[in-house]
Structure 1
Amino acid sequence: MTVVSYADSALSLLPPVVAIVLAIFTRRVLLSLGLGIVIGVLLLNQFSPVASGEFLFNSVKGLFWSEDGVNSWNLYILGFLIVLGMITALITVSGSARAFADWARLHIRNKRDAKLLTMFLGCVVFIDDYFNSLVVGSVARPVTDRYYISRAKLAYLLDSTAAPVCVISPVSSWGAYIIALIGGILTAHGFADSGHLSVFIQMIPMNFYAIFSLLLLLCVAFMGLDIGPMREHELNAQRGNLYDENKGLPPGANADLPEAETGKILGLFLPITVLVFATLYFMIDSGAQVLAKEGIEFNIISAFEKTDVSSSLFFGALIGLAVALVLNLVQGVEKSMVVKGVVQGARSMLPAIYILLFAWTIAGVIGQLETGKFMASLATGNIPFAFLPALMFVLAGLTAFSTGTSWGTFGIMLPIAADMAMGSHTAMMLPMLASVLAGAVFGDHCSPISDTTILSSTGASCHHIDHVVTQLPYAVIVALISMVGYVVLGFTESVNAGLLTCSVLFVLSIVWLRFKSQSNAK
């Protein structure tokens, strides 16, 4: 089947723009994504109904089955979601979530501590963003609910910890992937002697968006800087409405589940702890097996580079589920309650799965339209090298926002950034690569079609668009700060000057947010 390429046409932006704008204004995610998919498929097939229908069928089939056989990545991720839903429901049924909330009521003194706990857990569980958002959400939700912190605020805490921490952590699925990409780029440009890990570490202070996203989140947690739509959600939470009940149950919610009276904190922490360590073991083991086959000496970074994230998450979750089941049975929870928990837990993840399937489908359509290549083509032209880091930050952000993928943006934009640096000013190589990483995370944070954003909503049990809209103002503030920092870095060629500029702007932004938040409170 021949499809039309739109790599040189702004029409490639139409499907994602329609989907994103419609989702924000109508709050109907599946309808918006579906319309974006239909428009993209029609464009690819020159508006032929028959060819478009066949293409759409093959695209959906490809989510589960490809020419190489079963699409194991997608199936393992979906399986992980379902199993994690079961674990969360069993923790609720056992009464362990309530026991943890009661413990937190005595030991966690206020809302601020509950938010800081969530952020701390997000920084500790840094091995993968999917894993981070879903697991930390399951642990933190009973505590944040206890202190009437809105689910939108919880989703923001999860999302704005997960990706920023993962993108600057070398021992994570993100870090390994980025190190592998950068290694190939440096080798291709004659820098084979450069230590890939050391280069990655050098780039960490240049990732302004990740650094100042975490700092802003810390300030929001300490000072309660609720602005825009977030303020409305927090006010509703104080009235007992943790999420908008008019929109129904959000993904991951386990309403009306029976709870045993004999629940203990161990019933929450043991399954989650086992899940974390089992997943970490499978990630290292699957990577080590690939290294052994390729005859490469084992080291932890290389193992993460070669790991199979999706299968590790799934099998780690299965072991966590087994522990949760055993604890429920040992505790003497009625079998009917256990069965109801397993069924309800799996069912609670269906809304998230539907959104994820639609997001994957539109991502495939956008890939065929070559939207990323069109965005990358905008970087060409006679632009002073001093502006290049800021330009790459903006283009990477727009690409990730339009395509819904940070990793895809890395793959598209990092080689282009390196080529532009080699063609203009090699000293800008690392700042430009770092600005791509920063911009991709920013675009991912803002995009309703991003899988990471979807799973942060799921982990918080928050309606997806509510999360997108409430996080957006904070993401844009940090993006503006970062962009100015990259301009200063470009002109001075000094990372310290860029960081200092960002720091000054950050402090001014906090003062302004504090003033605005206090004004709204009056």
Structure 2
Amino acid sequence: MENTIFSLIPPFLAIIMVVLTRRVLLSLGVGIVSASLLLANFSLTGTVSIIYDAVKGIFVSEGSLNTSNIYILLFLIILGIITSFITISGGSRAFGEWAITRVKSRVGAQIVTIFLGIIIFIDDYFNALAVGQISRPITDRQKVSRAKLAYLIDSTSAPICVVSPVSSWGASIIALIGTILATHNITEYSAFSAFIQIVPMNLYVWATLAMVFIVALRNIEIGPMKIHERRAVKEGLVSDPNKPAVDKLQEDLPTSKKGSVGDLVWPIIALIVGVVGTMFWTGIVGSEGNVSLLAVFENTDVNTSLIIGGLLGLAVTIGFFIRQVLVYKSVDKSVFKKGVWAGTKSMLPAVYILLFAWTIADLIGRLETGKYLAGVVEIINLNHSFLPLILFVIACVMAFSTGTSWGSFGILLPIAGDIAAATDISLLLPALAAVLAGAVFGDHCSPISDTTILSATGAGCNLIDHVMTQLPYAVISALIACFGFLVIGFTGSTTLALLTIVVLLILFVIITSRRTKEV
């Protein structure tokens, strides 16, 4: 069943069930069981053994603890506790009151979120969670739906990271490009200069970022997003009260009336400084020879940085809570246990979903779904000029099916290099750009993607609501990017491709504006 068309069954089954049932854990569970059955050749005992091995692999790898996954889970719990105590200390309330005097419109709240997403480009996980934590009080006050907030976060996390050379993504991609260039004896440019040239060719990223600004500035609501935005504006409900958010606090927590903006801002600053500082430290330690900025980000330990930064942020948060207890006497110390439990419990749904998503991702990897999809590229016999478009579409499908952009471009980038070298070497960089763009789109839309899950977590949005409301915008951006990749494939001109993107976005604005007026 491995590396065959049957390997597509589990991811597609899980995705279809998510859409039809709106029950994430059930759908992922069905995908896990179906993948295990295929791997075990429908042996029940083999199926149970494979599932156990996959779940065990989340926590134990090669005889030692899998600290990467454990740290991510712990970071989520820490973030939930930080959120809980910021609420108790009155930081969220004070920040909301402060922000409402300065951010005086829904558009302003959304633009602030977008700029935060662009500025915090170090890592997509950190971006999604930190931007959500900072922006949520502002968007809630301005009656921006949580679904819209999740869309803004998701559209400025991975898209920014994939074009930033000083990010965990950029460093890894540059390393992959270096291997491809060495394999094909290409010496005209270095891996870093190749990456810089690829950046403007990543057409989905630019279409997506432009779309985010257009949607925020012109209040363009498409599909299910209309329902969420209208409910937020008319009823003041930023999320569907009948659907649980991924990280919604399950208990009413007491809130200090003497809290200040600092009770929210300083824990967040400590969190950011702790994560970024540790990323530099682990990158320097892991670098050999001459230490450069690129080497630092290539060798940094993101997950360790998250946990250390999270602990620093938590320590500062607890410090402000103690001040409210001992100095201001605005809350009782007995609230501490309640705050810890409420914060922990608020993140358990996200933890469960991530565990299931990691399990199915591992099983899909064993089925070699990615290799099968990549192989499809090699047997398609079309005009070479269609290569960027074909690779973009294949990467979209692969990342959407597997829920991982890293896994998709890890498999497809070398294959794209081989195909370009064997057909038309001038298409090498556009081909690599198309793979990166498609991988981001697929990961962007997949309900089993960890970045999708974390974006919903950061926004405090129901996961399925996030997926369904974001999908129309992402698909439109992808379709626009398709035309751009056709142009770049036939003309070799990045400028013409970008102009094509601009023209199509203008047409999108004109068409949606007319429809809005008609409505």
Q: Taking structure 1 as the reference length, what is the TM-score of the superposition?
A: 0.96
Tell whether 2:366 aligns with 1:371: no
Deviation at residue 484 of structure 1 after TM alignment = 0.7
Per-residue Cα deviation, 1:372-408 (whole angstroms, up to 9, x for no partner): 0011011013221100000000000000000000000
Tell whether 2:9 aligns with 1:11: no
The residue that corresponds to 1:279 in the other structure is: 275
Point out where structure 2 has 5 or more consecutive residues left out of the alignment: 326-330
Instruction: Provide closer, same or farther for how the CA distance between residues 68 and 287 of structure 1 changes in structure 2, counting only shifts above 3 A.
Output: farther
The residue that corresponds to 1:260 in the other structure is: 256
Tell whether 2:91 aligns with 1:96: yes
Q: Distance in 2 between matches of 1:356 and 1:517?
A: 38
Amino acid of the structure 2 residue aligned with 1:399: M
Among residues 59, 69, 75, which one is paired with 1:80 in the alignment?
75
The residue that corresponds to 2:413 in the other structure is: 414
Give the match's secondary structure for 1:499.
helix
Among residues 200, 217, 228, which one is paired with 1:233 in the alignment?
228
Q: Distance in 1 between matches of 2:511 and 2:63?
A: 54
The residue that corresponds to 1:324 in the other structure is: 317
The residue that corresponds to 2:436 in the other structure is: 437
Q: Distance in 2 between matches of 1:375 and 1:509?
A: 31
Deviation at residue 189 of structure 1 after TM alignment = 1.2
Any conservation in 2 of the 1:352–1:454 contact (CA below 8 Å)?
A: yes
Tell whether 2:303 aligns with 1:310: yes
Q: Distance in 1 between matches of 2:477 and 2:45?
A: 46
Any conservation in 1 of the 2:483–2:500 contact (CA below 8 Å)?
A: yes
Any conservation in 2 of the 1:252–1:345 contact (CA below 8 Å)?
A: no
Q: Output aligned runs, 1:287-366, within 5 Å.
A: 287-291=283-287, 295-332=288-325, 333-366=331-364
Q: Distance in 2 between matches of 1:10 and 1:421?
A: 25
The residue that corresponds to 2:328 in the other structure is: none
The residue that corresponds to 2:122 in the other structure is: 127
Tell whether 2:228 aligns with 1:243: no
Instruction: Provide closer, same or farther for how the CA distance between residues 197 and 448 of structure 1 changes in structure 2, counting only shifts above 3 A.
Output: same
The residue that corresponds to 1:143 in the other structure is: 138
Deviation at residue 454 of structure 1 after TM alignment = 0.4
Q: Distance in 2 between matches of 1:126 and 1:284?
A: 14
Amino acid of the structure 2 residue aligned with 1:331: Q
Any conservation in 1 of the 2:256–2:324 contact (CA below 8 Å)?
A: no
Instruction: Provide closer, same or farther for how the CA distance between residues 495 and 50 of structure 1 changes in structure 2, counting only shifts above 3 A.
Output: same
Per-residue Cα deviation, 1:75-115 (whole angstroms, up to 9, x for no partner): 00001111011111111111111111001111111100000
Any conservation in 2 of the 1:227–1:516 contact (CA below 8 Å)?
A: no
Question: How many residue pairs are counted as aligned between the two chains?
Answer: 512
Deviation at residue 255 of structure 1 after TM alignment = 4.7
Coordinate RMSD, CA, aligned: 1.2
The residue that corresponds to 1:29 in the other structure is: 24
Any conservation in 1 of the 2:249–2:342 contact (CA below 8 Å)?
A: no
Q: Distance in 2 between matches of 1:301 and 1:273?
A: 24
Q: Distance in 1 between matches of 2:345 and 2:23?
A: 20
Q: Output aligned runs, 1:419-498, within 5 Å.
A: 419-498=418-497
Amino acid of the structure 2 residue aligned with 1:154: L
Deviation at residue 242 of structure 1 after TM alignment = 1.6
Deviation at residue 34 of structure 1 after TM alignment = 0.1
Give the match's secondary structure for 1:6.
coil
Amino acid of the structure 2 residue aligned with 1:401: F
The residue that corresponds to 1:116 in the other structure is: 111
Any conservation in 2 of the 1:390–1:486 contact (CA below 8 Å)?
A: yes
Among residues 154, 158, 163, which one is paired with 2:153 in the alignment?
158
Point out where structure 1 has 5 or more consecutive residues left out of the alignment: none
The residue that corresponds to 1:503 in the other structure is: 502
Q: Distance in 1 between matches of 2:236 and 2:117?
A: 25
Amino acid of the structure 1 residue aligned with 2:360: I
Give the match's secondary structure for 2:334.
helix
Q: Distance in 2 between matches of 1:57 and 1:327?
A: 43
Q: Output aligned runs, 1:40-51, within 5 Å.
A: 40-51=35-46
Amino acid of the structure 1 residue aligned with 2:140: D
Q: Distance in 2 between matches of 1:509 and 1:94?
A: 45
Instruction: Provide closer, same or farther for how the CA distance between residues 257 and 47 of structure 1 changes in structure 2, counting only shifts above 3 A.
Output: same
Amino acid of the structure 2 residue aligned with 1:306: N
Q: Taking structure 2 as the reference length, what is the TM-score of the superposition?
A: 0.97
Any conservation in 1 of the 2:104–2:142 contact (CA below 8 Å)?
A: no
